[in-house]
Amino acid sequence: MKGPSITAADINGIVGIVPTPATEDASRWDVEHTVALDETARMVDMVVAGGTDVLLTNGTFGECATLTADELYAFVDTVVQTVAGRIPVFAGATTLNTRDTVTRARKLASLGVDGLFLGRPMWLPLDEHQLVQYYRDVAEAVPDMALIVYDNPGAFKGKISSRAYSELATIPQIVAAKHIGLLLGGGAFIEDQKAVGDRIRLLPLENDWHYAAQLFPDLVTACWSGNVVCGSAPLVALRTAIAARNWEEAEAIAGQLEWALEPLFPDGNFELFMRYSIQIDNAEFEAAGLIRPGPTRPPYHHAPERVLESGRECGRRWRALHDRYSLDTADLALQI
Amino acid sequence: MTTSRPRLTPADMRGMWAFVPACATADATSWKAESTVDVEALAALVDRLINDGVDGIVTTGSAGEGHTLTTDEFQVLGKTAVEAAGGRVPVFLGVSMLHTRESIARARLAAACGADGIMSGPPMYLPQSMENALQYYRDLSEAVPDTAIMIYQNPHAFRITLTPAVFAQVAQVRNIIAVKQTSMEIFNVIGSIKAAKDNMAVLVLDQLMYPAMMFGAAGAWSIDVCLGPWPSLSLRDACEKQDWEEAARIADQMQAPFTTLGLTMEEFQAFQAPWWKTAVDVAGYGRAGPARPPFVHVPPHVTESAQRYARQWIGLAEKYRILRDGGLVSAQIPDESS
């Protein structure tokens, strides 16, 4: 065993999460191959060229829960080939149990991913011991794969506790964790950061990044974003500001991102968002106009129009920001 | 191909349905184990339950670990249960996966195993809308039109409490013929009974048969029967005879072990697979073996709770076994627990 080639120190900047583009008939239960592979390649190339530093696939809106195993492998194969080693790739392998995840992990390793973006079984909630053992088992099964923990209380029936984080930090393969951030998670980010030290890169949400980075400037050197397919330019500007520790600038950019994302929860209702989150995110990506995500897959395919509209409004706002920041960059290039 | 049975109707879904554990080999706690179904133990348990008088067999729900088995193991388990039942009572296999197409694939496997039906809850990765849950059942029904479907109502696992309005709609689907009601709330249960009318049989937790059967429930589901089925069978018989006084007395006695659980409902839910498997092994009526990953660490107080419950149940079960052998009713034997 040589262990993963990526460590926590390698996770910096924008950790971008992408959807799984779908064919037009993907909402039907009797269709077997629903991944739009050409659009996948185009999307991934755009995201890498746009400045994303680490790529994550098949989280919640990346539909780890609704792809067949064959579709997942075909999608990830295209992603890996398109990225072609330019940045690290972490693929989602969350399933209902440890052994199914191990099976997927081994196959994904053979496709050439650098690591796994890994949530936990969610039929029943896991306690701390079960949760830690689950990650230990997967790390033991694929010792050369780096792991990014997916901490999503909504999907996995509970927040990962600080005590569990300190245990996870003893597993060398775990290099980062997608955290819920400061504003949604309250003080948890601070406690969790103290628990993991520099062994796990905790990733706050993009618009919380500057708060966390001000508290732990040497440790919180990356954030996650689910909006890279709507345009990376604002995130690149944010990354630059945070790297320069220009907190005023970072806060101003984060404020704009918050404006863009403000309509995301319909009526400000997080529960309503959770019930339709895949569909809402999908509507956002489509409205931003840079990729063609296609329809969502069953059973997460219906959503009320007004709920979708909140996603679309986010997409339009984000795209406007992206265009503005792209122009700024172009101006800057001209001046130089 | 096993002998084909006539398609089941709601009227066939009566009585006591045994929910059996996914009996496991000793090495089943390891993620490295590949074939963990204790075929012999499962076949023996199914056979014994049917000989003792249960009316149907259901596998692979929450406590039955539908979520921790590999696809290959699911097939082994399904075939074993169907063969052990040998056509004497219907067998339903639990099929609740992360998405519609995966549930359909597994439902087809269940049919290929010879199962009479499937039990399915809506995908639970995210909380589900009523509209998508309804579409899920319609898609499933369309994909396996010759397989009977039992709706699996379990808000804790599936993050959705299907409403009477949804029940009224799914009840219209031809091959959806029953609902497994996990709810302990009698008025929720009554709502589903009213919505189902004659189009769908409602099965309730065994100890709720009284008063649910008085209000039109068709029968019950029970894991308790795997610890010794006699109290549950006596309650079934009393309800079917509409002897509500006797039924109330038995139901009270069956509820007593539950009051000494010593766990929060959240703990009980989270650890239900190892909890029930421990209880089954302590009671000794069948052999369940350990729970599979990731449910391998069990706090001592959870194990003690299961042991305590099983010991209490054994006392009750033995009393009713003797009663049933002698053809007596429970009022004729003093109640030791009171």
- Touching A: B residues 141-170, CB under 8 Å: 142-143, 156-157
Confidence of residue B57 (pLDDT cuts 50, 70, 90): very high
Strands B117-120 and B219-222: what pairing? unpaired
The nearest CA of chain A is from the CA of B111 a distance in Å of: 17
Cβ distance of A99 and B142 shorter than 8 Å:
no
Using the Cβ of B67 and the Cβ atoms of chain A, whether some distance falls under 8 Å is answered with: yes
A98-154 pLDDT per residue, tens: 999 999 999 999 999 999 999 999 999 999 999 999 999 999 999 999 999 999 999
B319 belongs to the catalytic site: no
Using the Cβ of A305 and the Cβ atoms of chain B, whether some distance falls under 8 Å is answered with: no
Q: How far apart are CA B201 and CA B298, in angstroms?
A: 35
pLDDT above 50 for B184: yes
Cβ distance of B136 and A299 shorter than 8 Å:
yes
DSSP letters, A151-205, are --HHHHTSPPPHHHHHHHTT-TTEEEEE--HHHHHTTHHHHHHHHHTTTSEEE-B
Q: What is the pLDDT of residue B338?
A: 39
Using the Cβ of A155 and the Cβ atoms of chain B, whether some distance falls under 8 Å is answered with: yes
Q: Where are the alpha helices (DSSP H) in chain A?
A: 37-50, 69-83, 98-111, 128-141, 153-156, 162-168, 181-185, 188-196, 209-215, 233-243, 247-261, 270-275, 277-288, 305-335
Using the Cβ of A299 and the Cβ atoms of chain B, whether some distance falls under 8 Å is answered with: yes
Confidence of residue B334 (pLDDT cuts 50, 70, 90): low
Neighbour-count burial for B282-311, b at 16+ CB within 10 Å, e otherwise: bbebbbbbbbbbbbbbbeeebbebbbbbbe
With contacts defined as CB-CB under 8 Å, which chain A residues touch B99?
A: 65-67, 297-300
Cβ distance of B143 and A30 shorter than 8 Å:
yes
With contacts defined as CB-CB under 8 Å, which chain B residues touch A120?
A: 294
Cβ distance of A130 and B294 shorter than 8 Å:
yes
Confidence of residue B153 (pLDDT cuts 50, 70, 90): very high
With contacts defined as CB-CB under 8 Å, which chain A residues touch B272?
A: 124
With contacts defined as CB-CB under 8 Å, which chain B residues touch A125?
A: 266, 269-270
Please give the DSSP secondary-structure letter assigned to residue A64: T
The nearest CA of chain A is from the CA of B73 a distance in Å of: 12
Nearest chain B residue to A32 by CA distance is B101
Cβ distance of B101 and A297 shorter than 8 Å:
yes
- Touching A: B residues 69-108, CB under 8 Å: 69-70, 96-102, 104-105
Strands A174-178 and A54-57: what pairing? unpaired
Residue from A97, A99, A81 nearest A89 by CA: A81
The nearest CA of chain A is from the CA of B33 a distance in Å of: 9
Helix, strand, or coil (residue A56)? strand
B262-305 pLDDT per residue, tens: 999 999 999 999 999 999 999 999 999 999 999 999 999 999 99
A118 forms bridges with which residues in the sheet? A149
Catalytic residue among B79, B137, B180, B285: B180
Confidence of residue B332 (pLDDT cuts 50, 70, 90): low
Helix axes A69-83, A98-111, angle to 10 degrees: 30
Q: What is the pLDDT of residue B3?
A: 46
Residue from B120, B107, B47 nearest B78 by CA: B107
Using the Cβ of A225 and the Cβ atoms of chain B, whether some distance falls under 8 Å is answered with: no
Q: What is the pLDDT of residue B255?
A: 93
For chain B, count helices (H), then strands (E).
Answer: 13, 8
> Catalytic residue positions of A?
178
Cβ distance of A301 and B131 shorter than 8 Å:
no
Please give the DSSP secondary-structure letter assigned to residue A32: S
B102-129 pLDDT per residue, tens: 999 999 999 999 999 999 999 999 988 9
pLDDT above 90 for B231: yes
Report yes or no: A119 and A59 within 8 Å, Cβ to Cβ.
yes
The nearest CA of chain B is from the CA of A182 a distance in Å of: 22
**Residues with Cβ < 8 Å from B259, sequence gap 6 or more?**
none
- CA gyration radius for chain A? 19
Please give the DSSP secondary-structure letter assigned to residue A297: P
Test the B interface: residue of A34, A68, A95, A99 with most B CBs within 10 Å: A99
Neighbours of A223 (CB within 10 A): 28
Q: Of the candidates B105, B129, B296, which has its C-beta nearest A133's C-beta?
A: B296
With contacts defined as CB-CB under 8 Å, which chain A residues touch B269?
A: 124-125
Catalytic residue among B136, B137, B152, B210: B152
The residue type at B254: M
With contacts defined as CB-CB under 8 Å, which chain A residues touch B143?
A: 29-30
Cβ distance of A303 and B129 shorter than 8 Å:
yes
Report yes or no: A40 and A261 within 8 Å, Cβ to Cβ.
no
With contacts defined as CB-CB under 8 Å, which chain A residues touch B133?
A: 299
Rounded mean pLDDT, B176-205: 91
Using the Cβ of B46 and the Cβ atoms of chain A, whether some distance falls under 8 Å is answered with: no
Q: Of the candidates B31, B96, B124, which has its C-beta nearest A122's C-beta?
A: B124
Nearest chain A residue to B63 by CA distance is A124
The nearest CA of chain B is from the CA of A278 a distance in Å of: 9
DSSP letters, B269-333, are HHTHHHHHHHHHHHH-SS---PPPTTS----HHHHHHHHHHHHHHHHHHHHHHHHHHHT--GGGS
Q: What is the pLDDT of residue B328?
A: 63
CB pairs under 8 A between A and B: 142
Mean pLDDT by 10 residues, chain A (336 residues): 88 98 97 98 98 98 97 98 98 98 98 98 96 98 98 95 98 97 83 97 96 96 98 98 97 97 92 93 98 97 95 98 88 59
Helix, strand, or coil (residue B3)? coil
Q: Of the candidates B67, B266, B271, which has its C-beta nearest A97's C-beta?
A: B67
Using the Cβ of A122 and the Cβ atoms of chain B, whether some distance falls under 8 Å is answered with: yes
Q: Of the candidates B62, B96, B139, which has its C-beta nearest A124's C-beta?
A: B62
Q: What is the pLDDT of residue B1?
A: 40
The nearest CA of chain B is from the CA of A223 a distance in Å of: 24
Q: How far apart are CA B220 and CA B218, in angstroms?
A: 7
Neighbours of B226 (CB within 10 A): 27
With contacts defined as CB-CB under 8 Å, which chain B residues touch A301?
A: 132, 135
Residue from B208, B228, B221, B220 nearest B316 by CA: B228
Q: What is the pLDDT of residue B2?
A: 45
